[in-house]
Structures are given as C-alpha cells and as structure tokens.
Amino acid sequence: MAESIRMLSKNTVKFIKSLHQKKFRNQEQKFFVEGEKSVLEVLNSDFRVELLVATESFISRHNTQINSSDVQVILATQNQLESLGQYQSNDSALAVVHMKPNRAFAFPEDNFVIGLDDVRDPGNLGTIIRIADWYGIKNLVFSAQTADFYNPKVIQSSMGSFIRVNFFYADLNEVFHQWKVPIYGAFLDGKNVHKMKQIRRGVILMGNESNGIGEDLEKVVTDKVTIPGFGQAESLNVAIATAILCDNFKRLTIE
Amino acid sequence: MAESIRMLSKNTVKFIKSLHQKKFRNQEQKFFVEGEKSVLEVLNSDFRVELLVATESFISRHNTQINSSDVQVILATQNQLESLGQYQSNDSALAVVHMKPNRAFAFPEDNFVIGLDDVRDPGNLGTIIRIADWYGIKNLVFSAQTADFYNPKVIQSSMGSFIRVNFFYADLNEVFHQWKVPIYGAFLDGKNVHKMKQIRRGVILMGNESNGIGEDLEKVVTDKVTIPGFGQAESLNVAIATAILCDNFKRLTIE
C-alpha cells in the first residue's frame, strides 16, 4: 500500500533538479525517469523507485499499480513536471529511482557483450542500449569516459530498454584480459563483416565518436571488423554502426 | 577571382538568421551550411554558393579554393558565426547556398531508392542521408510531411552527405504507381529480412517515427519486410532500421 499522497515541496523540486547533474546523481546514487511508459516500466522492474511525482490523472489511471508498489507519491501539475525534468511535454509522471551498484558480470555462455570505449554522446549511448535490447544482447561494458548511463538523455533515448540490460563501468583492457573471449573491434580497415563465418560469442567493441577505439585497447582486439561501404560517406554514426554489427553477428549465430 | 571581402552587416545577419525558418528558406530558395569540412565540400560541389561568411583564419587557410569560386566573402569573428548559425562552436565558416529545384529522377537501373513517409525528425533525416551515401544509394524520395532537407539540423547530421544525394518531395502513392518497381516497406510483421533472396532494385520505404507507414501507402507496398528481433525492445529508431535494411539489401545484391 502506498503512503499518503503529498504535495510537491521546494526541497523536492531542488533535489530532483540536482539529479540533472552527474555529480549529484553519484552523491545521491539516484536518477530520474520521465514519461508514462518508462515510469510504468520502472515501477514494474527490479529497480527500486523512491519517489513518484505524478499528475492526478496518472495517479487515478494507474492506481492499482501505484498502490502495489511501496513508493511515496507526490502530486504535481503538468507544468511542474515539465520544469522538473527534461521532457518538453510531460502530463503523466516522473520517478526518482535508486541506481544499481557497479558490479561486473560473468561473460555469458552463448551470447555477445557490447563494449563501448569512450562513447560520449548520451543520445548515442541510449540508442545503443535500445539496439542491444532489440538484439537480445543483455550485457554491456563501458570505459570510464563513456557517457553516464543514468544521464536523463540516455534514459530517454533508450526508450525503456535501460531496464532490461546489465552493465558496468571498468578499465576495458583489464576486463578483456580476464574474459579471454574474441574481441571484435569496429574499424574502418578491418575484415568485411558480410564475409564472416559463424560465431557465437565475443565482445562487439565500438569506439569514441571522433577517435574510434583507443590505441591501447586496439592491441587487445582479436578481430578488426568493418561494415562494407558502397558510396562516399567517410563513416557512420557509432549507434548506426553498432546496430549493423549486431544485426550481422546475430545473423551469424543462426546460420 | 572572389570579389573583395566585406564586413558583416546588420542586414546580412538578419537575412541569415531568417534562414533558420523553413518559410524564409522557401521564400529565398536558400539555406546555410556550417563548419569547415561541410563548407569546403559545398564550395567544391555543384551547389551554387552565394555567400561565404568566414573567419580571417579560414580565409587565409583556404585562400586558393575561395578565390577559384565565384563567391562573395564576408569576414566574421567566431562569436558572430556562432550567433548566426546553430553550431555551439564554429571558428571557421558558414555558407549561404542556393537550393536545388524539386525535380523527380528516373528510377535507377540497378540500385535502390530510399522512400520516407513522414519522417519528421531532422536528425533522423540527416542520419538517413548519411547512411544512403555510405551504401551508395544516391536517390531518395520524401512525402510532403517529411522533415525539410534544408533544415540546418538535417544538413548538420548528414555530415556532408547531403551534397552527394538526389531527392525530391512528392505524393509517394503517385510516384510508386509510375515507377512500377518492388516497394519494400518496413513493418513489424513482415518477412524476415535475413531470409530474403537476391534482389537488385526497388524502394526501401520507411515510415513515420510514431505511426510507421501510412494506411494508404501500405496498399502499394509489394513486400513487407521486418528486422528480426532477439530481445524485448518494441521497435528500433527509424534511422537505425534504415541502416540495417540498407545493409541487408546491399548484401543481397552481391551474394
């Protein structure tokens, strides 16, 4: 049963606004999620939701689900929601959620892991998380300089997929040495991914938007792979390239 | 030989700022391009450049190329450039360029055409143009409600590829009836694109970000195609899906 509904206080406004900044997210170990669909999904997930700021209409429509979760509910107007978050339009809800601990996972038996070396743009990271979820690649590992998973733009562009993936931040060099699996790195001068033979396991490693995969990390790449171009564009956006590699690799597991 | 270099006037500032809006772009039949690489590419293309607003450093570094083009050069500071355009940082140049007429092309003998039915987001359109250029698909056709090709965000996210594609806006239904080629439409319940046989020609048709391909247009789709999912995400971003379909279709032309 949910506690009684409160009104939005100045302190809560200040607290939620502070979560736009990584520094305060890390200090509090909390982040926020916006919009009807994502808020409902996070309430229904293994994330621990601390606060639900919602309009009267959202509360009455989802009364049962709200009551069955153990969350403090705060009533707000659409205008208040829009000033708290980053959505231009939000007439439903915003949830304050506890981060998960940064814990390494074991390499999966029969699947890929996506590795990101300094992918800095939050929109790219969120899109890559959505792609990973589409292709059933549930595990991702990020270099320390990769965008913050809990950045509101990452959460938004993942379209709810952030709930369904595992991830941790680490020194990729160390992690890859421990894992002892093939590391497929995206380069412009690698092996044509259309010509690859059946594979079932390994890291799909993508580099920074401007500089690609770092020199040190390049040394632990076991297979350089390339998306064949047929035209004149010099490169592809990193999220686009990730999608194409995932599509090719997943095709190879079923051929 | 370029005309003499002028200083930036208030009228020119007002004129360039008006080009942020589609209404004034259409009225003037002009748009603008920002940043060193894209400005140099457009100077070197078959687009007619009317004005080059540039820093002293850009002008001295690219003196030869500027002199060989017949363009009015206007000197500006980095601050002025940044207030004229949409780039957060621009210490090089901005070019005012003439639009091309909206003219239909004949369907290419041995290639694909990308068709977009109401793709509204300029970032998506620009990214799709870059993907088309990567895959050597030089021809695109857009429904009237698709984002404006000359929107500054489209130009920016195309990363220079806008120079190398042909396109026109039209009633897609009419155009497809005339072309009499296979229309491969992206749907969530179509044929698995991984299982398709060799094809060489046809339209790759993508729909609106929220609603997909419109009902009327669905009737002229000859082949519904689907990107197989292996996870739980409900959909993919339209630019991501376009990239994956192009990769699969281009693979089929060479198998």
Instruction: Please write the tens of the pLDDT for every residue from B127-154.
Output: 999 999 999 999 999 999 999 999 999 9
Name the architecture of domain B112-254: 3-Layer(aba) Sandwich (3.40)
Query: What's the rounded mean pLDDT across residues A106-119?
Result: 96
Q: What does the block give as tokens for B129?
A: 């143009």
CA B240, CA B233: separation in Å to the nearest integer? Answer: 13
B6-98 and B112-254: identical CATH topology: no
**pLDDT tens, position by position, A10-58:** 999 999 999 999 999 999 999 999 999 999 999 999 999 999 999 999 9
E-strand spans in chain B?
Answer: 6-7, 30-34, 49-54, 72-75, 93-98, 112-116, 139-142, 166-169, 183-192, 202-206, 223-226
Give the contacts of B68 (CB within 8 A, at least 6 positions apart).
none
CA B121, CA B215: separation in Å to the nearest integer? Answer: 20
Residue in the structure block whose two tokens are 């004005």: B51
- How many CB atoms within 10 Å of residue A118? 21
Residue B224 in contact with partner chain A when CB distance is under 8 A: no
ipTM of the complex: 0.92
Q: How confident is the model at residue B4 (pLDDT cuts 50, 70, 90)?
A: confident
Query: Which residues 137-156 on chain A approach chain B with CB closer than 8 angstroms?
Result: 137-138
CA A96, CA A32: separation in Å to the nearest integer? Answer: 4
**pLDDT tens, position by position, A154-191:** 999 999 999 999 999 999 999 999 999 999 999 999 99
Provide CATH code, domain A6-98: 3.30.1330.30
Chain B residues close to A124, C-beta within 8 Å: none
- pLDDT for residue A199: 87
Dihedrals φ, ψ of A201, to 5°?
-160, 145
- How far B3 CA lies from chain A's nearest CA (Å)? 32
Query: What's the rounded mean pLDDT across residues A114-137?
Result: 98
Give the contacts of B247 (CB within 8 A, at least 6 positions apart).
A227, A244, A247, A248, B135
Residue B252 in contact with partner chain A when CB distance is under 8 A: no
Instruction: Let me know: does B129 contact A236? Beta carbons within 8 Å.
Output: no
Rounded-to-10 torsion of CA A228, A232, A237, A239 = -30
Longest CA–CA separation in chain A, Å? 61
Chain B residues close to A251, C-beta within 8 Å: 194
- The two beta strands, B93-98 and B49-54, are antiparallel
CA B112, CA B91: separation in Å to the nearest integer? Answer: 38
Q: How confident is the model at residue B164 (pLDDT cuts 50, 70, 90)?
A: very high
Share of chain A above pLDDT 70, in %: 98
Share of chain B above pLDDT 90, in %: 92
- pLDDT for residue A198: 83
Residue B247 in contact with partner chain A when CB distance is under 8 A: yes
Please check the confidence at residue A216 and state whether its pLDDT lies above 80.
Answer: yes
CA distances, A85 to each of A13, A16, A227 (Å): 10, 8, 38
Residue in the structure block whose two tokens are 């680490």: A170
Closest residue to A136, CB basis, from B130, B230, B243: B230
* B59-73, B84-98, B217-231, range with the lowest pLDDT: B59-73
Considering only residues B104 and B2, tell me which one the structure prediction assigns the higher pLDDT: B104
Q: What does the block give as tokens for B218?
A: 């669905």
- pLDDT for residue A255: 53
Taking CA–CA distances from A157, the nearest residue in chain B reads B237
- How far A202 CA lies from chain B's nearest CA (Å)? 17
CA A111, CA A120: separation in Å to the nearest integer? Answer: 25
Q: How confident is the model at residue B5 (pLDDT cuts 50, 70, 90)?
A: confident
- pLDDT for residue B255: 53
Chain A residues close to B126, C-beta within 8 Å: none
- pLDDT for residue B1: 42
- pLDDT for residue A3: 57
- pLDDT for residue B200: 87
CA B117, CA B139: separation in Å to the nearest integer? Answer: 15
Please check the confidence at residue A1 and state whether its pLDDT lies above 70.
Answer: no
- How far A75 CA lies from chain B's nearest CA (Å)? 29
Please check the confidence at residue A102 and state whether its pLDDT lies above 70.
Answer: yes
Domain ranges across chain A: 6-98, 112-254
Q: Of A163, A139, A165, A152, give the one whose Cα is nearest residue A46.
A: A163
E-strand spans in B72-154?
Answer: 72-75, 93-98, 112-116, 139-142
Closest residue to B135, CB basis, from A135, A230, A254: A230
Q: How confident is the model at residue B41 (pLDDT cuts 50, 70, 90)?
A: very high
- pLDDT for residue B123: 96
Give the contacts of A179 (CB within 8 A, at least 6 positions apart).
A107, A203
CA A47, CA B82: separation in Å to the nearest integer? Answer: 42
Mean pLDDT of all residues belonging to chain B = 95
